[in-house]
Structure 1
Amino acid sequence: MVKAINYVKQSISRRFVVLMLSVLTLIIAGALAALWLNYTTLEQYRKIENELKRKQELVSEISYHTNQLFFRVRGYYSFKNKQEYAEIFQEKKELEQSLAAFSKLKLSPEEIELTKSIRHFFDEYFAVTLPKAVGMVERDDYDSLRKLSSSGVNQTVNELVAYANEFKKNSELELKKESEELSNVISGQGFLFLIYFLGILLAAVWVTFRVARDVGTPLTQLSSATDKIARGEHVMMPEMDRSDEIGHLSRSFHSMMVQIQTKEEELLMQNEELQAQQDELQMQQEELQEALAKTEASERYLEKRNRLIMSLANTLNKQELLTSIIHNMVEVTAADKGIIVLLNQSRDHAGFGIAPEGIRQFLDQLESGMLIRIRETLLPYQLKRKQTAGERGYHVEEAYGHDLFLPVLSAKNELIACMVLTRLGKSATEPEMKEITGLAKQISLSLEKLDMYEETEKQRQLTQDILDTIQEGVQLLNPSGVTIQVNRKMFEILGQSQPGGQVHTPHELLFPYLQKYVSEPEKMLAFITDAVIGKARSAKTFVYEVNLEQKRYIQMYDVPLYRGTDKLGTLLVHRDITREYEIDQMKSEFVSTVSHELRTPLASVLGFAELLLHKQLSPERQRKYMQTIHQEATRLTNLINDFLDLQRMESGKQNYNMTPLNLIEIVKEAIELQRVNTRLHRFVFEPKQPLIPITGDADKIRQVITNLLSNAVKYSPAGGPVEITCEEENGFVKLDVSDQGLGIPEESLPHLFTKFYRVDNSDRREIGGTGLGLAIVKEILGFHQGTIDVSTEFGRGSTFTVQLPLAPDEQRLGQEEAAVAVHPQKISTGGQIVLVEDDVNLAELLRTELESSDFTVFHFANGREAVQQIAKLQPDAVVLDLMLGAGMDGWQVISEMKENQEASRIPILISSAFEEKNKAWELGAKGYLVKPYHPKMLTEVLNVTIAKRERAGQIYVPDPDTKSDALSEEKEDDQEK
């Protein structure tokens, strides 16, 4: 026990813990005792209360069930109701349950006796009284029943009910009594708790006193001693005979105090030495601060210079560079303002701290100022001058400014710029001049680099402009397959609106775009990859299809770029071959169509010709077959003429005989020609006036109208009306040809007047045609300064509208003149004709025709022989084919005849399948007779020629459709010429 007490005394914390645990133990024990006492009192009260309430409930139930039982008995007595009788026994059962529950409670002797008497009463009632009463009711003996009821049964029941009421009152009194007793007990317990609380309070005060005495007092003594030591007083600490922390602290403090006093003298001595050292450190600190200030100044200068150098390297814009140079130079050199001027043609410049008027003045006087000295010496120069009023500001005394003129020299030691830096009140020293000159060299390098960049950029832009003018897409890839440059055409091919220029896109990144718009992206990407890596390929080009708003076909080929043996990249060239592709497609279709269009009539001609040669036929059938052969031959002739017309138009060799015409008559002629070829169509033409004058080639205008009417008939296979309207409108004649046929799809309208183009629909494939008709129509109208338009509704028909300029008033023709122009007079004569033709069959045909008109014909197939015989025969005219067989051609025959004096005046009529009108015109011709032509035309021309009887060596080249009187007029013109 003593060891435990000593162990506790050795520590303040142990003492405090033991005291607190002791007080806490007393508090907990008292609280538990108070709780237990209060709990037991309440539980006893609840138990008594519950028992009394349960008895009260059961007595009430017994009273209730008794009343109900006799209520049911009376009901049965009154009404003999079996239901009421059954309810009697139900109430009996519940009454017995309540009695059984009441008997299980803790009962007083009186209550036990009461319970027995109730049981005895009801047993006797149900065993004796109730059966008697039921029998009386069954017998309707109500007098006996009233006697039985007044025999004391009701009295017993009333007593039972009275007892129940009295028992309820007694129970309530008992509960009230128990409640008062519980209140008294709780009041006593509260008094005990107050005493307990006061005891706890006293214990706490005692613990506080002990802590203050054992801990507070020693600490106060130590604190007081510490204050005295701090004031330098001598302190004698009392000895504390304690083994706890305070005792240890007191002894340690006493020992420390002795040591402090012992070393105080040593510290005073050391303090004097430290004071001396501090003075020395102060001097060193001042030196270091001065050195630091110089270092910081150098750092700021280097930072400004670095900023200048960075600004020289961070921009390639000339104006930005000049502005950055002058700003940083003013800051680096501690100048107040400055200006830099490039000595180029545009005098690019930038200023800092100078008004715009001052800059303009400096630029205007630049060549007559200090720049002269700088050009001569190429050295910096500093000028001292008086400050201007603006520079002095509010200073009234005289002050000076220093302008430093600094040359900027190129690597070739040429002056490329001049810079002026101004300091107010301070000049530049020699070291500063050297530093500024060094900075000028940096500026020179930057300006030269900028000039090189601008020149390179000009060359690059020139190269790009050249690439952009190329009508082929150009794509440059580096050896890694990255697209580094394209031209504008390349973007157009890909459906982009960007301008050409430098890009940076690996060709693999193009694959999503290719997948979206190119028909075979995998093959195209493989071709590009092979081109980049230089893989050998069988195909040198690749054609791909771009599916944009309009489908386009692009041909791509690659060209490797080398510098020496090093491969610099690959050039991909994309050529838009859409037009060529479409023309090729149309040509393929055209060849197929023409093959059909040629073979079909030829088959008919050959077939009917064989029938005529090998079979005996009646004259009617022979005539019919000959008509068929003639029709098919005419069809072939028209087809060939279409080809030749288009070729002449495209080459610019088509000739037009422009004369005044009546468009109404030409339309009527064309309608009559078409009316013969169809029975399903009805032509509606009701002109409002008999004459609409135009100027044009009658045959070509007739060809235009015939083509439009023919198309209207062909593309309305079901028949119907073909309406033609013709009227004057604003100096033009407007001709409409409308049908109610198949119509034209909207997507075909842009290509409708393109040669070889045919609408590719199944319902049109059975309709013949070469796709040349409308192209020829447009060419003819273009020469006549006319136009053609179309309006259509698919499946409902089309309307073609032609507009031609009206003829001037002075060229209008009368109806009689037009009739004369169409129906020439025939002149019948005879004479000798030399026919030079290498085709035997054609020569025989022409001989037969001429001999039937009383001409004597001499035929020669060889040009040399013909020239010899012409000189001997001296014929009235020569009919000459230009393309002969072996030997001389037609032109050589003409040349030989012109050189022969005897044959030079004989008229020559050129008859050829080739058109050489330009060459013929050089010889004085005004027309051409083109094979095939009707033999009667040759007869008419010869009649006109011989009738004149003027042999002047004229060369007649009549147009195959030109009438006789027109030819005679041409001949007369030639003779006059």
Structure 2
Amino acid sequence: MLIFIFRKSFHARIVTMFIVVLLISLCAAYMFTYVFYPEHHRSEQSLSTVEDGINALLLSEEAASIADLEANAREHQATLTVLDEEQQLQYRSEAAQPISDASIHNFSSLSEGESSFVFKGTEELFEIAIARPINGELHTLVYQVDLSAESQAVRDIIIASLLVVFIVGSILFLIASTPIVSPINLLSKAAKKMATGDFSVYIQKKREDEIGELVDNFNYMSKELQKVENMRQEFVSNVSHEFKSPMTTINGFTQAIRDEVVKENEREEYLAIIQSSTQRLSRLSDHLLQLASLESEHHPLQMTSYALDEQIRRVILATRLLWEEKHIDIQVDLPSITIEADQDLMEQVWMNLFTNAIKFSHSHGTIWVNVIVLPQQIKLVVEDEGIGISEEHLPYVFDRFYTVDEARTPEKSGNGLGLPLVQRIVDAHGFSIDVQSKITEGSTFTVTIMPSVSYD
């Protein structure tokens, strides 16, 4: 379980690495101070000797003479100062420090067998005062233990230990951090490549923790950006093609008219072609602008409540010349329905769907426009008996500039922006659109309108 967590969690790996490095560093410092720093032994032994000496001095009985007391003090690494009953100096070892008046005053209150302890931090000196009889007279024995050497040894040991921890810890962290920093460096280099426009970069995943997840997300981002780049290039290519074709037509026929190589009876026909190409360019520009506005999510929707059935009837009437020209029968089933939406944008949806149905229907065919009312939604269905769409093309009918009619015949050609625009408008409203089609059997487009709907 712990191994699984260690492999899956970058945080657990960092914490574990820190604990391991800290423990190894402390062990290394301990071994260094004991094996390579013998002063530690000496200071420890010295402190132990001083402790034993203090205990021995406190437990000592009446001494025969000051010389015996001096020998006893020297044996326990202490100096001796002897004060009489009047606290007057009677004896002081050569290495003994002078006793302050304040200390002498405190010692004067000691009774036989009592002791006093004073530690002078600034001088690193430990004073032990004991009231003991010498030759039948009460004296104050003041032992001074110099701890400066031991204190310095302790400071040296601490500094050496910290240095060992720092050096060993730094080396171990440097080694342990390599597997962590390595993929981050790879990500940084890959990001720089992507910044130059190279989206083909791929980083091999070697771990299952958060770094591995980051690598997966980076590779996914790289793949998606590559798709976007391909779409951008395809978009530029398609736009260039869509603009170039009518521009070439306009330029060619205009030049022909200016050079007077066009017969008088053909001039009107050429002007009509020029006008048609101009209108095509205008529609293309309008669609591109609308798509850009809708995809930027800055296009405000002018939401109003209006009669959907009346809007559909207006669209059918507006296209009457088109479906009458092909002798198409229109079958309509529209109950009175009120919806809340952007009326102008939704009119473009119905216009695109209906004109597409007319465009790809056979002469003397039938188009059905029906509304299916459900408890929480309505479905508006536009169905035709036209040429249909093959299964392989269905997933792409809402892609920009995608056209099913590969032959691009004049009567069926388009710029491939109508259905993408329909989908963006439907999505902006929170509605949905679906298409079902079979080749030679026709197509069915269904727009599902969510709540805020009322009907009679």
Equivalent residues in 2 for 1:871-910, closer than 5 Å: none
Letter in 1 for 2:333: P
| 2:232 alignment partner in structure 1 | 583
Q: Is the 8 A contact 2:21 2:173 kept in 1?
A: no
Output the CA distance in 2 between the equivalents of 1:379 and 1:711: 101
**Deviation of residue 808 (structure 1)?**
6.1
Calculate the aligned-residue CA RMSD, in Å. 5.6
C-alpha change, 1:661 and 1:744, in structure 2 (3 Å) is: same
**Which is richer in helix?**
1
**Deviation of residue 697 (structure 1)?**
2.8
The C-alpha deviation readout for 1:648-695, integer Å capped at 9, x for no partner, is 334556454432221112222222333422444635443251x22122
Output the CA distance in 2 between the equivalents of 1:758 and 1:408: 84
Letter in 2 for 1:781: V
Output the CA distance in 2 between the equivalents of 1:723 and 1:795: 17
Q: Is the 8 A contact 1:740 1:796 kept in 2?
A: yes
C-alpha change, 1:802 and 1:778, in structure 2 (3 Å) is: same
Output the CA distance in 2 between the equivalents of 1:784 and 1:666: 17
**Deviation of residue 461 (structure 1)?**
2.2
Equivalent residues in 2 for 1:938-953, closer than 5 Å: none
Letter in 2 for 1:664: D
**Deviation of residue 616 (structure 1)?**
7.9
Equivalent residues in 2 for 1:33-48, closer than 5 Å: none
Letter in 2 for 1:464: P
The C-alpha deviation readout for 1:476-503, integer Å capped at 9, x for no partner, is xxxxxxxxxxx994238xxx9988989x
| 2:293 alignment partner in structure 1 | 648
C-alpha change, 1:798 and 1:474, in structure 2 (3 Å) is: same
| 2:368 alignment partner in structure 1 | 723
1:706 equivalent in alignment to 2:347? no
**Deviation of residue 708 (structure 1)?**
1.6
| 1:413 alignment partner in structure 2 | 160
Letter in 2 for 1:732: Q
Which of residues 239, 242, 255 is equivalent to 1:593? 242
SS of structure 1 residue aligned to 2:413? coil
C-alpha change, 1:498 and 1:467, in structure 2 (3 Å) is: same
SS of structure 1 residue aligned to 2:328? strand
1:638 equivalent in alignment to 2:283? yes
Q: Is the 8 A contact 1:752 1:774 kept in 2?
A: yes
**Deviation of residue 642 (structure 1)?**
1.9
Q: Is the 8 A contact 1:680 1:719 kept in 2?
A: yes
**Deviation of residue 720 (structure 1)?**
3.2
Q: Is the 8 A contact 1:743 1:792 kept in 2?
A: yes
1:490 equivalent in alignment to 2:209? no
Q: Is the 8 A contact 1:662 1:693 kept in 2?
A: yes
The C-alpha deviation readout for 1:515-548, integer Å capped at 9, x for no partner, is xxxxxxxxxxxxxxxxxxxxxxxxxxxxxxxxxx
Which of residues 630, 641, 664 is equivalent to 2:309? 664
Output the CA distance in 2 between the equivalents of 1:633 and 1:412: 87
Letter in 2 for 1:461: I
Output the CA distance in 2 between the equivalents of 1:317 and 1:806: 57
Letter in 2 for 1:790: V
Output the CA distance in 2 between the equivalents of 1:461 and 1:499: 11
Output the CA distance in 2 between the equivalents of 1:599 and 1:491: 49
Output the CA distance in 2 between the equivalents of 1:408 and 1:730: 85
Letter in 2 for 1:491: Q
Q: Is the 8 A contact 2:25 2:168 kept in 1?
A: no
Equivalent residues in 2 for 1:5-24, closer than 5 Å: none
Output the CA distance in 1 between the equivalents of 2:365 and 2:208: 54
Segments of 5+ residues of structure 1 without an aligned counterpart are 1-314, 334-373, 385-406, 417-443, 476-486, 503-551, 555-573, 815-977
C-alpha change, 1:324 and 1:581, in structure 2 (3 Å) is: closer
| 2:168 alignment partner in structure 1 | 449
SS of structure 2 residue aligned to 1:701? helix
Whose radius of gyration is greater, 1 or 2?
Answer: 1
Number of residue equivalences? 314
Letter in 2 for 1:805: M
Output the CA distance in 2 between the equivalents of 1:806 and 1:466: 51
Output the CA distance in 1 between the equivalents of 2:203 and 2:185: 13
C-alpha change, 1:740 and 1:746, in structure 2 (3 Å) is: same
Q: Is the 8 A contact 1:675 1:683 kept in 2?
A: no
The C-alpha deviation readout for 1:853-875, integer Å capped at 9, x for no partner, is xxxxxxxxxxxxxxxxxxxxxxx
C-alpha change, 1:408 and 1:598, in structure 2 (3 Å) is: farther
| 1:464 alignment partner in structure 2 | 183
C-alpha change, 1:410 and 1:636, in structure 2 (3 Å) is: farther
C-alpha change, 1:468 and 1:730, in structure 2 (3 Å) is: farther
Output the CA distance in 1 between the equivalents of 2:298 and 2:275: 30
**Deviation of residue 471 (structure 1)?**
6.9
| 1:696 alignment partner in structure 2 | 341
| 1:27 alignment partner in structure 2 | none
SS of structure 2 residue aligned to 1:665? helix
Output the CA distance in 2 between the equivalents of 1:379 and 1:795: 104
C-alpha change, 1:586 and 1:746, in structure 2 (3 Å) is: farther
Letter in 1 for 2:414: G
Segments of 5+ residues of structure 2 without an aligned counterpart are 1-15, 35-39, 52-153, 195-199, 213-219
**Deviation of residue 703 (structure 1)?**
1.0
Which of residues 332, 337, 343 is equivalent to 1:686? 332
Output the CA distance in 1 between the equivalents of 2:395 and 2:44: 72
C-alpha change, 1:628 and 1:783, in structure 2 (3 Å) is: same
Output the CA distance in 2 between the equivalents of 1:654 and 1:324: 63
